Amino acid sequence: MPEYVYLIHPLRDAYFDHPTVHEEQVMEEHFAYLKGATERETVLLAGPCLDETFDIVVITVENDKAARDFMLNDPAVMGNVMMAELHPMEISFSCLKDRKC
């Protein structure tokens, strides 16, 4: 199956320093969404950049539409906490891809 990466960026400048209650709740849902998808092996890799710029999510799904749907159904995107951008990609090297770490 093809692989995709999507980046999510906070919509609000002060998000990292002063998240609202709504943002915290939505991000808990985001975490649960990605955790469940990881258990189903849809999410290959996900996590935030430590310089508080964006989060990255690498997924494997059937096609472009499935990738876009997955990204748009992410609670962080649906809840208007994060904006997202999607890119098709190919993992060339990964301990995760080969499962031979």
Can you say whether the dihedral through the CA atoms of 66, 86, 94, 39 is positive or negative?
Answer: negative
CA distance 55 to 38: 15
pLDDT of residue 79: 97
Residue reference for tokens 């031979």 = 100
| CATH match for 3-53+60-83 among 3.30.70.1060, 3.30.360.10, 3.30.300.30, 3.40.50.300 | 3.30.70.1060
- Looking at residues 63-73, what average pLDDT do you find? 98
pLDDT of residue 80: 97
Taking phi over 0 as left and psi of -120 to 50 as alpha, with beta for the rest, 62 belongs to alpha
Residue 97 predicted with pLDDT over 70: no
pTM, two decimal places: 0.90
How close are the terminal C-alpha atoms of the chain, in Å?
A: 21
Q: Where are the domains of the chain?
A: 3-53+60-83
CA distance 60 to 4: 6
